Amino acid sequence: MIEACIFDLDGVIVDTAKYHFIAWKALAEELGFEFILDDNERLKGVSRMKSLDILLEIGGLQFSEQQKLAMAEKKNMLYVSYIEKMTPEETLPGVPEFLQELRNKGIKIALGSASKNSPMILDRIQLSGMFDVVVDGNSITEAKPNPEVFLKGAEKLGILPENCVVFEDAIAGIEAARNAGMYCVGIGKPEILGMADFVIPGFEEFTFEKLEAPFPFPPKWKA
Ligand code: G6P
Ligand code: MG
């Protein structure tokens, strides 16, 4: 039985990947190497410091922990300069309607994101009020694929993991959902997100009825 839906933020509710890309690219250029869009895929769903490690690996560079913290801070300042200008129009199509449908049906809604900027983004797109619970990069210690972010969300909602559905666009996030023992819907391409219980391209035309349709089949983690 579906009692709660837990949403990732970046790539599910909003497309912030383009802003992360601009900011990481600027840092790479400052360090003297090129960062291309293809490599940006590797940063999806990955925490800020882990993203920096991947970036530096691409550039073949090494720095001290202190230098890395300063670089991550600098990248974040540029990233924030973009997201603070976001408007509700940047919410991905169909998301507000689907959230409203869940609320009307009494389904609980949580956010489960690695981003420390989640509160600001939800505020800018005017969706903060839709979430019963927000678990983000400020309240977790373990990054996806560790299930902490989703288990915390379920616990705060007071709902059993098996009655939660996670919506995720990143492979690490789908793994995290499965590790949490939750049903998982991939947002994106089936050839990339094959581990999800099922995959949809986005929320346009998506309804609770379509979400419920495959139930009560056991989720893949049980198979
Ligand atoms: C999400 C994004 C990642 C990002 C991470 C941390 O998972 O998909 O690309 O690195 O959040 O975001 P933050 O806003 O805290 O730097
Ligand atoms: Mg994501």
| Chain segment 60-114, per-residue pLDDT in tens | 999 999 999 999 999 999 999 999 999 999 999 999 999 999 999 999 999 999 9
Determine which residue's CA is closest to atom 16 belonging to ligand 1. 48
Helix (H) or strand (E) holding 18: helix 17-31
115 CB near ligand 1 (under 6 Å): yes
Residues 6+ apart with CB under 8 A from 158: none
Radius of gyration of the chain (CA): 17
Ligand 1 contact, 140 CB (< 6 A):
no
Rounded mean pLDDT of the chain?
94
Nearest CA to ligand 1 atom 2: 45
Please identify every residue whose CB atom is under 5 Å from ligand 2, which is an ion.
8, 10-11, 45, 169-170
Q: Cite the active site residues.
A: 8, 10
What is the per-residue pLDDT for 222? 54
The DSSP letter of residue 218 is P
Tens-place pLDDT, residues 18-44:
999 999 999 999 999 999 998 988 888
Give the C-alpha separation, 174 to 27, whole Å.
29
Nearest ligand 1 atom to the CA of 76 is 16
Distance of alpha carbon 66 from alpha carbon 78, whole angstroms: 19
Is cis: bond before 145, omega within 30 of 0?
A: yes
Name the nearest CA neighbour of 156 among 102, 100, 99, 112: 112
Residue with tokens 């489960």: 112
d(CA 187, CA 83): 22
Residues across the chain: 223
> What confidence score (pLDDT) does residue 1 get?
87
Q: Please write down the long-range contacts of 29-32, taking CB distance under 8 Å and 24 or more positions apart.
A: 31/56, 31/59, 31/61, 32/59
Helix (H, G, I), strand (E, B) or coil at 110: strand
